[in-house]
Amino acid sequence: MLNNEYFDKIKKVLLEYAEKRREIIKMSDDALHRSKQAIFALHRDELEIANNLLQEVENILSAVEKKQECDSGLTKEGAYNAGLEEYTEAYLFRQFLVGEELSEVKKISVKPNIFVGGLADVPGELYRYAIKSATVRDVVMVKKCQSVSEEIIKAMLDMNLTGYNRQKFDQAKQALSKIEKVVYELSLRD
Protein backbone atom coordinates (compact mmCIF):
# COMPACT_ATOMS: atom_id res chain seq x y z
CA MET A 1 0.00 0.00 0.00
CA LEU A 2 1.34 3.45 -0.99
CA ASN A 3 0.84 6.79 0.64
CA ASN A 4 -0.58 8.48 -2.47
CA GLU A 5 -0.55 11.93 -0.91
CA TYR A 6 3.20 11.70 -0.32
CA PHE A 7 3.83 10.32 -3.81
CA ASP A 8 1.80 13.18 -5.31
CA LYS A 9 4.05 15.66 -3.48
CA ILE A 10 7.15 13.94 -4.86
CA LYS A 11 5.68 13.91 -8.35
CA LYS A 12 4.86 17.63 -8.13
CA VAL A 13 8.39 18.54 -7.00
CA LEU A 14 9.99 16.47 -9.78
CA LEU A 15 7.69 17.84 -12.49
CA GLU A 16 8.33 21.42 -11.36
CA TYR A 17 12.07 20.78 -11.43
CA ALA A 18 11.86 19.28 -14.92
CA GLU A 19 9.91 22.29 -16.16
CA LYS A 20 12.44 24.74 -14.68
CA ARG A 21 15.28 22.66 -16.11
CA ARG A 22 13.79 22.72 -19.61
CA GLU A 23 13.31 26.48 -19.36
CA ILE A 24 16.91 27.01 -18.27
CA ILE A 25 18.18 24.79 -21.08
CA LYS A 26 16.13 26.77 -23.62
CA MET A 27 17.27 30.13 -22.27
CA SER A 28 20.89 28.95 -22.11
CA ASP A 29 20.68 27.72 -25.69
CA ASP A 30 19.35 31.14 -26.72
CA ALA A 31 22.30 32.78 -24.93
CA LEU A 32 24.75 30.47 -26.68
CA HIS A 33 23.18 31.13 -30.09
CA ARG A 34 23.20 34.91 -29.64
CA SER A 35 26.81 34.78 -28.42
CA LYS A 36 27.76 32.97 -31.61
CA GLN A 37 25.89 35.60 -33.61
CA ALA A 38 27.82 38.31 -31.73
CA ILE A 39 31.12 36.65 -32.59
CA PHE A 40 30.08 36.46 -36.23
CA ALA A 41 29.11 40.15 -36.15
CA LEU A 42 32.49 41.00 -34.63
CA HIS A 43 34.22 39.18 -37.48
CA ARG A 44 32.28 41.41 -39.87
CA ASP A 45 33.29 44.49 -37.82
CA GLU A 46 29.65 45.13 -36.91
CA LEU A 47 30.36 46.28 -33.37
CA GLU A 48 26.96 47.81 -32.69
CA ILE A 49 25.14 44.61 -33.67
CA ALA A 50 27.55 42.58 -31.53
CA ASN A 51 27.07 44.89 -28.55
CA ASN A 52 23.28 44.59 -28.84
CA LEU A 53 23.51 40.81 -29.03
CA LEU A 54 25.82 40.67 -26.02
CA GLN A 55 23.38 42.86 -24.08
CA GLU A 56 20.60 40.38 -24.93
CA VAL A 57 22.81 37.53 -23.72
CA GLU A 58 23.53 39.35 -20.47
CA ASN A 59 19.80 39.81 -19.92
CA ILE A 60 19.12 36.13 -20.63
CA LEU A 61 21.92 34.90 -18.37
CA SER A 62 20.85 37.25 -15.58
CA ALA A 63 17.32 35.83 -15.81
CA VAL A 64 18.74 32.29 -15.67
CA GLU A 65 20.78 33.21 -12.59
CA LYS A 66 17.61 34.40 -10.85
CA LYS A 67 15.79 31.17 -11.71
CA GLN A 68 18.70 29.15 -10.36
CA GLU A 69 18.50 30.92 -7.02
CA CYS A 70 15.25 29.06 -6.41
CA ASP A 71 16.84 25.65 -6.96
CA SER A 72 20.58 25.14 -6.53
CA GLY A 73 20.42 21.86 -8.48
CA LEU A 74 19.84 23.86 -11.63
CA THR A 75 23.28 25.50 -11.46
CA LYS A 76 24.91 22.32 -12.71
CA GLU A 77 23.13 22.36 -16.06
CA GLY A 78 25.61 21.82 -18.89
CA ALA A 79 23.60 24.02 -21.24
CA TYR A 80 23.94 26.96 -18.87
CA ASN A 81 27.70 26.48 -18.58
CA ALA A 82 27.99 26.21 -22.37
CA GLY A 83 26.04 29.44 -22.79
CA LEU A 84 28.25 31.20 -20.24
CA GLU A 85 31.41 29.92 -21.89
CA GLU A 86 30.31 31.10 -25.35
CA TYR A 87 29.33 34.48 -23.92
CA THR A 88 32.75 34.76 -22.25
CA GLU A 89 34.45 34.01 -25.56
CA ALA A 90 32.39 36.69 -27.34
CA TYR A 91 32.96 39.18 -24.51
CA LEU A 92 36.74 38.69 -24.58
CA PHE A 93 36.91 38.80 -28.38
CA ARG A 94 35.00 42.08 -28.30
CA GLN A 95 37.43 43.43 -25.70
CA PHE A 96 40.29 42.60 -28.07
CA LEU A 97 38.66 44.29 -31.05
CA VAL A 98 37.88 47.52 -29.20
CA GLY A 99 41.40 47.68 -27.81
CA GLU A 100 40.61 46.83 -24.21
CA GLU A 101 42.65 44.62 -21.96
CA LEU A 102 41.26 41.09 -21.80
CA SER A 103 39.89 40.85 -18.30
CA GLU A 104 37.07 39.58 -16.14
CA VAL A 105 33.48 39.53 -17.30
CA LYS A 106 31.83 42.25 -15.25
CA LYS A 107 28.09 42.00 -15.87
CA ILE A 108 27.62 38.27 -15.35
CA SER A 109 29.13 36.01 -12.71
CA VAL A 110 31.49 33.57 -14.44
CA LYS A 111 33.27 30.84 -12.50
CA PRO A 112 37.01 30.48 -13.16
CA ASN A 113 36.73 27.15 -15.01
CA ILE A 114 34.06 28.61 -17.34
CA PHE A 115 36.16 31.74 -17.89
CA VAL A 116 39.19 29.63 -18.82
CA GLY A 117 37.07 27.64 -21.29
CA GLY A 118 35.92 30.84 -22.98
CA LEU A 119 39.42 32.32 -22.91
CA ALA A 120 40.82 29.18 -24.55
CA ASP A 121 38.48 29.70 -27.50
CA VAL A 122 39.66 33.28 -28.15
CA PRO A 123 42.82 32.27 -30.09
CA GLY A 124 40.58 30.43 -32.54
CA GLU A 125 38.65 33.64 -33.13
CA LEU A 126 41.91 35.56 -33.37
CA TYR A 127 43.09 33.09 -36.02
CA ARG A 128 39.94 33.70 -38.06
CA TYR A 129 40.37 37.44 -37.64
CA ALA A 130 44.06 37.17 -38.60
CA ILE A 131 43.08 35.39 -41.83
CA LYS A 132 40.58 38.15 -42.60
CA SER A 133 43.22 40.78 -41.85
CA ALA A 134 45.84 39.00 -43.96
CA THR A 135 43.57 39.07 -46.99
CA VAL A 136 43.67 42.89 -46.89
CA ARG A 137 47.38 42.88 -45.98
CA ASP A 138 46.82 44.30 -42.50
CA VAL A 139 50.06 42.89 -41.11
CA VAL A 140 49.79 44.97 -37.93
CA MET A 141 46.46 43.35 -37.01
CA VAL A 142 47.73 39.87 -37.85
CA LYS A 143 50.70 40.39 -35.55
CA LYS A 144 48.41 41.79 -32.86
CA CYS A 145 46.31 38.60 -33.11
CA GLN A 146 49.49 36.58 -32.73
CA SER A 147 50.72 38.62 -29.77
CA VAL A 148 47.45 38.38 -27.83
CA SER A 149 47.19 34.64 -28.56
CA GLU A 150 50.72 34.21 -27.20
CA GLU A 151 49.74 36.12 -24.04
CA ILE A 152 46.69 33.90 -23.58
CA ILE A 153 48.77 30.73 -23.98
CA LYS A 154 51.41 32.05 -21.58
CA ALA A 155 48.79 32.87 -18.95
CA MET A 156 47.13 29.49 -19.34
CA LEU A 157 50.45 27.63 -19.07
CA ASP A 158 50.67 28.65 -15.41
CA MET A 159 47.20 27.31 -14.60
CA ASN A 160 48.10 23.60 -14.58
CA LEU A 161 44.93 22.74 -16.48
CA THR A 162 43.45 19.25 -16.59
CA GLY A 163 40.46 17.56 -18.18
CA TYR A 164 38.16 19.62 -20.35
CA ASN A 165 40.12 22.86 -20.00
CA ARG A 166 43.37 21.06 -20.86
CA GLN A 167 41.78 19.99 -24.15
CA LYS A 168 40.64 23.57 -24.73
CA PHE A 169 44.20 24.77 -23.98
CA ASP A 170 45.60 22.36 -26.56
CA GLN A 171 43.14 23.75 -29.13
CA ALA A 172 44.27 27.29 -28.25
CA LYS A 173 47.89 26.28 -28.87
CA GLN A 174 46.89 24.86 -32.26
CA ALA A 175 45.17 28.16 -33.13
CA LEU A 176 48.32 30.07 -32.17
CA SER A 177 50.38 27.78 -34.39
CA LYS A 178 48.05 28.58 -37.30
CA ILE A 179 48.41 32.32 -36.67
CA GLU A 180 52.19 31.92 -36.63
CA LYS A 181 51.97 30.30 -40.07
CA VAL A 182 49.93 33.25 -41.34
CA VAL A 183 52.56 35.67 -40.00
CA TYR A 184 55.31 33.59 -41.62
CA GLU A 185 53.54 33.49 -44.98
CA LEU A 186 52.99 37.25 -44.87
CA SER A 187 56.69 37.76 -44.15
CA LEU A 188 57.56 35.88 -47.35
CA ARG A 189 55.53 38.31 -49.43
CA ASP A 190 57.16 41.51 -48.18
Q: Give, to the nearest 10 degrees, the angle between helix 4-43 and helix 47-70.
A: 160
> Is the pTM here over 0.75, yes or no?
yes
Measure the CA–CA gap between 104 and 92, rounded to whole angstroms.
8
pLDDT at position 69: 73
pLDDT at position 121: 98
Domain spanning 111-190: which CATH class is it, in words? mainly alpha
Domain spanning 1-109: which CATH class is it, in words? mainly alpha
Angular region, 101: left φ>0, alpha ψ -120 to 50, beta rest = beta
Asked, colleague to colleague, whether 1-109 and 111-190 share their fold, the answer is yes
Q: Is 81 exposed, middle or buried (0-12, 13-18, 19+ CB in 10 A)?
A: middle
Concatenated DSSP letters of 59-74 = HHHHHHHHHHHH-GGG
Domain ranges of the chain: 1-109, 111-190
Provide the 10 A C-beta neighbour count for residue 20: 17
pLDDT one digit per residue (tens) for the chain, 190 residues: 778 888 889 899 889 888 888 998 999 999 999 999 999 999 999 999 999 999 999 999 999 888 777 666 666 778 999 999 999 999 999 999 999 999 999 989 899 999 999 999 999 999 999 999 999 999 999 999 999 999 999 999 999 999 999 999 999 999 999 999 999 999 887 6
Measure the CA–CA gap between 88 and 93, rounded to whole angstroms.
8
